[in-house]
Structure 1
Amino acid sequence: MHKIFVSTFPFCRTSPKALEVLESNGCQVVVNPLGRKMKPSEVTEAAQNFDALIAGTEELTPLVTTTKSLKLISRVGVGLDSVPLDLCKEKGISVAYTPDAVSPAVSELALSLIVDTMRKVTYSDREIRRGEWTRPYGERIGGSTIGILGFGRIGKRVASHLLGYLPKKILVCDLLDQTESITLFNDSACQIEKMNGMLGKNWSKTTVEQVSFQTLLKKSDALTIHLPLTKETKDLLNYENLSLMKASAVLINTARGGIVNENDLYKVLKDNLISAAAVDVFEEEPYKGPLCELENIILTQHMGSCSNDCREDMEREAAENVVGFFSGGSWERVV
């Protein structure tokens, strides 16, 4: 019988399916008893003698450093910045994740935050609660240039959602050559243009292009981030780079805390060097920092994956990865 510790929180809040997958396959399961995100020392102490760990975004370096029994880490989610992959490889600990399940929910949240920041929806709500009524004007996605930093699973989903809004351009910045994908998106944009023509609308076609990082910063009316956190992307959006953006631009981060330097973002927003931002992820969570003082930012609680269906799929797939690993079946291998 394999012993499985679940450190992620919550787990099986809306569906018992993931737990059923584990227990029906003979696993002995212990779930995070704290009712909150576990600290690294707590994960280390709790999971020390288990065969596998089903983890969230907890920092796992102390556990991996000291464990003598752990054989698998199965991430509920896609980000791997909290998993010391080189050390896992050195110690023979396999790593799995659930890259597909999270994409629909994160991409939809990113899109909603683009609309919110550009149209000043949350800002208007705050005004009413203060007894004010200025009816603030904003910008539409239609006719704007939207930048996507990172064109993987989630970035591509964001682009597919955006096409229906008819932006002037979608600019893509990615390390990989995305020519093939961009051709497909431009073909889709042509079909949307034809449909609008049938309705008697004289819409201009959206064009999708791959550009450099500098061009992305300078040309985007809204910039949404969909990168992993690595040594190369840490503090990528610092004061110098943020200052290249338009004064009217908005920035959206639903990827990982640390990609955007929070102190630099505070300065840029406070000095109105960009119009607004929306941030779902932070270096330290729960977030209690100075960004809370600003009116031109929306702060959400690392809830990109927090739709009931996507969370259930993530948990179930993480459990299936554990079962597949120990039974010789299929699982989503990382290392």
Structure 2
Amino acid sequence: MANVFVSTFPFCRTSPRALQILEENGHQVVVNPNGRKMKPNEVAEAAKSFDALIAGTEDLLPLVKESDALKLISRVGVGLDSVPLGLCTERGIAVTYTPDAVSPAVSEMAVCLIVDAMRKLTYADREIRQSKWSRPYGDRIGGASIGILGFGRIGKRVASHLLGYLPKEILVCDLLDQSNEIAELQVLSNQIYHFNAKVGKNWNPTAIKQVSFVELLKSSDAITIHIPLEKENINLFQENIFRSMKNKAVLVNTSRGEIVNETDLLKALQDKVIAAAALDVFEEEPYYGPLKELEQVILTQHMGSCSEDCREAMEKEAAENLVSFFKGQSVKDRVV
């Protein structure tokens, strides 16, 4: 059986099921003792003699370079940018992930952040805590143009959630042709329109269309990011991109921090180039940078996946992938 190191944090916070699965199958498990996200050198030092790693978003390059024992990386979550897949292939290290379990939690949180940023809810909360009461005005999703960058599992769920808010349009930007998926969503949009017409609401059905990145920037009142981190999109959102957006626009990022240049975002917000931002992910985590000083920014703790049910499902799937691998069985979500 395998010696397993768990680097992801948190792990089994609300349910012991993943740990039970590992131990019931004879695996010896050591869990991240730091109570926080581990740094690359910490993972490398702690896990270099282990057979398997259950990982979060930690940078695993130093570990993969140094370890002669590692046989499997079982990723809790969907993003693989922190895993050096090419080097894993060279060194004979298998990689699995859990792409489905995370989608419900992240998509719901993305929509919540759009509403919060557009309606200035967190801003109002901060005012009350400072004994202020300005009753700030905001914008609704209803009647607005909402842009979705990346139309994979999470982006599609975001679109379906948004339909209930009756936006004017949902603008989809993706490298792949999403015509079939958009056609299905348009049918649902028309059904929602007809339901509202029955109860006396005078809405138009939401138009859903695929657009270029340039059109997404120009036309969206809010943009939510759902693309994987790749070399080509590091610092994708930087000064000239912000200047291409509406000055009333809000930017929501629940994907990867490196996609947004935080220095340029800070300046864009200070100069009112765009109106607001909501970030769940950062270049460096935990985040303690200057964006926390701005009132028009909502900051959360890389917690898009942190609903109790989704987190339990992700951890359980990661544990099951590990068990299947060491039993010599096929693993559905094996990447390498």
| TM-score scaled by length of structure 2 | 0.98
Alignment of 1:85-234 (within 5 A): 85-234=85-234
> Where does residue 333 of structure 1 map in the other structure?
334
Separation in 2, partners of 1:13, 1:330: 29
Per the alignment, in what secondary structure is the counterpart of residue 18 of structure 1?
helix
- Listed one character per residue, the Cα deviations across residues 170-225 of structure 1 (whole Å, up to 9, x for unaligned) are 00000111111011011111111111111122210001100000100010001000
- Listed one character per residue, the Cα deviations across residues 254-307 of structure 1 (whole Å, up to 9, x for unaligned) are 111110100000000000011111011001011011111111111111110111
1:65 Cα shift? 0.5
Separation in 1, partners of 2:91, 2:228: 23
Give structure 2 stretches of 5+ with no counterpart. none
> Where does residue 39 of structure 2 map in the other structure?
39
Given residue 126 of structure 1, which amino acid in structure 2 is its aligned partner?
A: R
Separation in 2, partners of 1:63, 1:334: 18
Per the alignment, in what secondary structure is the counterpart of residue 122 of structure 1?
helix
- The runs of at least 4 aligned residues of structure 1 exceeding 2 Å deviation read 328-331
1:41 Cα shift? 1.3
1:127 Cα shift? 1.4
Separation in 2, partners of 1:104, 1:178: 20
Given residue 115 of structure 1, which amino acid in structure 2 is its aligned partner?
A: V
1:299 corresponds to 2:299: yes
Separation in 1, partners of 2:263, 2:295: 16
Separation in 2, partners of 1:134, 1:221: 23
Given residue 28 of structure 1, which amino acid in structure 2 is its aligned partner?
A: Q
Given residue 109 of structure 2, which amino acid in structure 1 is its aligned partner?
A: L
Alignment of 1:315-330 (within 5 A): 315-330=315-330
> Where does residue 76 of structure 2 map in the other structure?
76
Given residue 68 of structure 1, which amino acid in structure 2 is its aligned partner?
A: D
Given residue 5 of structure 2, which amino acid in structure 1 is its aligned partner?
A: F
Separation in 2, partners of 1:203, 1:328: 56
1:60 corresponds to 2:54: no
Alignment of 1:204-283 (within 5 A): 204-283=204-283
Separation in 1, partners of 2:36, 2:248: 38
> Where does residue 18 of structure 2 map in the other structure?
18
Given residue 333 of structure 1, which amino acid in structure 2 is its aligned partner?
A: R
The root-mean-square deviation of aligned C-alpha atoms, in Å, is: 0.9
1:330 Cα shift? 4.1
1:329 Cα shift? 2.7
Figure out how many residues of one structure are paired with residues of the other and give that number: 335
Q: Percent identity?
A: 69
Per the alignment, in what secondary structure is the counterpart of residue 321 of structure 1?
helix
Separation in 1, partners of 2:58, 2:263: 23
Given residue 334 of structure 2, which amino acid in structure 1 is its aligned partner?
A: R
1:328 Cα shift? 2.7
Separation in 2, partners of 1:124, 1:13: 31
Separation in 2, partners of 1:159, 1:89: 35
Deviates more, 1:169-178 or 1:44-53: 44-53
Per the alignment, in what secondary structure is the counterpart of residue 258 of structure 1?
helix
Separation in 2, partners of 1:221, 1:103: 23
Give structure 1 stretches of 5+ with no counterpart. none
- Listed one character per residue, the Cα deviations across residues 96-133 of structure 1 (whole Å, up to 9, x for unaligned) are 11111111111111000100011010111111222221
1:80 Cα shift? 1.1
1:89 Cα shift? 1.1
